Every structure is written in C-alpha cells, then in structure tokens.
Amino acid sequence: MQFPPTVRAFGGEIRLGADALLEKPRNLSKDCLAFSHARAALIWLNSRAGPFDCVMLSAYTCPSVPRMYSNLGCSLIFVDLFSDRWEEMIRRATGRLLVLVPAFLGHDVGVDLLGISKSLENKGIVVVDAAQTAFGHETISVPESVAVLSCPRKCVAVGDGAILRWSELTDVDHAAVAKMPWATNAVAAKLAARALCAWRSPAVEPEMLRLNAEAELAWPDYPHRMSDSGTWFFSWTDPVAHARRRWENWATLSRGLAGRVEIVERYGGTPYNFSILVNQRDEILKRLHSQRVFATALWPDSVHSGNEHPVAADFTRRLIGLPIDQSYSVEDMDEILARVLGSLCQ
C-alpha cells in the first residue's frame, strides 16, 4: 500500500522484508557465537575471560554499556571519541582490563589495534565494539586474540542477534551457549513491531512504537543465545547487498548535504546512519519529526566529562543520525533530503 509524501515516514524500525536474501544460506564460522543482544555477549565474556577490574571504553557510547559494567563491579576508564590515547591509558591501568574499542557508526576502527593489543599484553583482552553493524564480525580485520562484537538486531530485520567472533572460543563455549534460552519476550515484541512497520500505515504506528519499547525493556540482564528463528533468517541475509544499499543511500545524502551542514565524515565499513552535527538540535529534530523523518539524537545522555572528552561532549549536544538503511531506495533518499533541507533552512 502506498501513501502520499505527506504521510510516508522515514526512520524508526527496519521493516520486515527490507533485507535482500541469498540464494542459499551461510553458516557462522566456528570462531563465532550468537547471543540475543550485545549486553548478553559482553556479560558472558566477563565471566569467560574476566572478571575484569577495569573496562576502557569510548566516552561517546550507549549509556547502557558503562551502566552494565558498573553493575558488574568494574571501574570505568573513558577515552574520548577519535582519541589516539588508548595505548597510553592502557599502560596506566592496573588489574584485569577489557578494552572496548568502537567501530563508530559502523565504519573503520581508525586506531592501531595491534599496538593496543601489544600494550595490553596479558592484562586482559581487546574487543572491537561493532554493535552498529550487522556483519562486522566478518568484515573487520583484527589481530590474533582481538574479539569483534557485531549486532545484527540493530541493522537487519531480525528479532534478535549479537555475534561475538573470538579466536579463543572452544567447543565447551559453543556447548554452553547452545544450552542458553532465547530472549523470547523481546524477540516476539521486536518481530511484531517490524511486521507492523512493513504495513507502512500511520494507523498502526502507535502499536508499533509500543511493541518496540516493550522489546527494548525485555532484553534480559544475563546471557541468552540468539533465537533459532533469528539465526535462520540471518543466514539468508545478503551482506553484499546490505552494504551496497547503505553506501548508496549514504552517498546520496552526502552529495545533497555537502556544504550545507557539518557531516560526520568516516570511512570504510558499512554505515549505520548518516550523521550530521547541528546547533539547536532539539528544534531541528522537532522540524524533522513534523516532516515524518524520524531522525535520532544518538546518545544525548552518553557518560563523559566535558573537559576531558571534548569530542564526546560536542557529539552529545549536536549529533543527529538520519536513516539510510536498506529499507530505502535512492529515490527515497531524495525525498528525505528535501525534507531535511527544508528543516535546516527554516
């Protein structure tokens, strides 16, 4: 069912049916484990490779991550976004250490992972936080013993899924995860929200939003495995088409917005969204939402120090993420672009 431009909405859920599929499924490699969501994987890793005394992480990240580690009794060491001080701060740290390096917005890591890993020596492990990717566990190249965590549930139309790739995995690890339960309530609510999104009808939006909020609240605080339905669907999802569509959409907005707004320029990987930096962000978000472009202020409540982490502080105040996911065509991006320009120029 098609709706006129004033009714069509952009952003929010990735609708069921948005993903290009393969001719035959692919299995995860032996060095991967499939958890229900990212926190489930990280909590499992804390038991398996820890417990960690300290966690070093970006000062601009989802606040649920530092909150989780605080609840686990870990001290937190924050590094500013795009900083090159990881190795220096590792050398200062004591105790068992987890270093969580971001693949920000799904792009290349942008720091020396080998140098970071060598600085850590035997004091802990390094994990690339690629939670803003669906296939980062496959596409991000890392030194031996460095782990990668991707999060398909955020980037494709599955109900759940976080993939941990780590060279240290054993048969015992695989057997333990295989015995874990699904996060059934969260999966059911998320899939129902995606199904309603596929209708593209304003009439079902309130129920879709309710179900999505229900799903987010239902993610458990202890390890669960990825559902069988999720792993089956993910095995059919085409990673090449996924990346191509997102880059095509990213490029369309980049051409249209170049010179008109400050763009967060990152390279490589697969983009999670198209991020811009604006003043008066709340006002511009209101305009975008009134135009039914449901852009997001990514992590306005990130945990950081304004003096020590100036980039994180700036992004916390000014970043807006525009939708570019595989639900949309280049023609859709042209429509989004017109609405964005109208909102910026008011």
For residues 56, 31, 181 and 73, what is the CA-based torsion angle, rounded to 10 degrees? -20
Residue 187: HSE in the Cβ half-sphere, 13 Å Cα cutoff: 22
| pLDDT in the model for residue 12 | 85
- Quick: pLDDT tens for 217-239: 999 989 999 999 999 999 999 99
For residues 337, 202, 205 and 342, what is the CA-based torsion angle, rounded to 10 degrees? 20
| pLDDT in the model for residue 306 | 72
CB contact set of 273 (below 8 Å; sequence gap of 6+): 105, 296, 298, 321, 322, 323, 324, 325
| pLDDT in the model for residue 169 | 97
In this prediction, residue 163 has a pLDDT band, given cuts at 50, 70 and 90, of: very high
pTM value? 0.94
- Quick: pLDDT tens for 279-317: 999 999 999 999 999 999 989 888 877 789 999 999 999
- Cα distances from 55 to residues 89, 126, 210, 254, in angstroms, run 11, 10, 34, 35
Give the amino acid at 297: A
Q: Average pLDDT for residues 90-112, to the nearest whole number?
A: 96
| pLDDT in the model for residue 7 | 64
- Residue 258, SS3? coil
Look-up of token digits 């870990």? 74
| pLDDT in the model for residue 1 | 43
- Quick: pLDDT tens for 75-92: 999 999 999 999 999 999
Residue 32: beta bridge partners? 165
Q: Determine the distance from the C-alpha atom of residue 81 to the mean position of all C-alpha atoms in its chain, rounded to a whole number.
A: 16
**Res 205 pLDDT > 90:** no
| pLDDT in the model for residue 307 | 83
Q: Are 85 and 111 in contact (CB under 8 A)?
A: no
SS3 content of the chain, % helix, strand, coil (to 5): 45, 15, 40
Residue 125: beta bridge partners? 98
| pLDDT in the model for residue 107 | 97
Beta strands in 252-318 (DSSP E): 262-263, 274-277, 293-294
| pLDDT in the model for residue 5 | 47
* 301 or 149, greater pLDDT: 149
Q: Average pLDDT for residues 208-222, to the nearest whole number?
A: 93
Residue 234: HSE in the Cβ half-sphere, 13 Å Cα cutoff: 27
Q: Average pLDDT for residues 198-205, to the nearest whole number?
A: 84
* 205 or 2, greater pLDDT: 205
Look-up of token digits 């050398």? 91
The vertex-72 CA angle with 215 and 186, nearest 5°, equals 10
**Res 71 pLDDT > 70:** yes
- Quick: pLDDT tens for 258-274: 999 999 999 999 999 99
Cα gap 12→300, rounded to integer Å: 17
| pLDDT in the model for residue 329 | 95
Q: Determine the distance from the C-alpha atom of residue 255 to the mean position of all C-alpha atoms in its chain, rounded to a whole number.
A: 24
The vertex-234 CA angle with 231 and 239, nearest 5°, equals 150
**Res 154 pLDDT > 60:** yes
| pLDDT in the model for residue 121 | 86
Instruction: Enumerate domains of the chain plus CATH numbers.
Output: 32-178 (3.40.640.10), 238-345 (3.90.1150.10)
Cα gap 247→337, rounded to integer Å: 15
In this prediction, residue 6 has a pLDDT band, given cuts at 50, 70 and 90, of: very low
Q: What is the mean pLDDT of the chain?
A: 94
- Residue 296, SS3? strand
Cα gap 66→55, rounded to integer Å: 8
**Res 115 pLDDT > 70:** yes
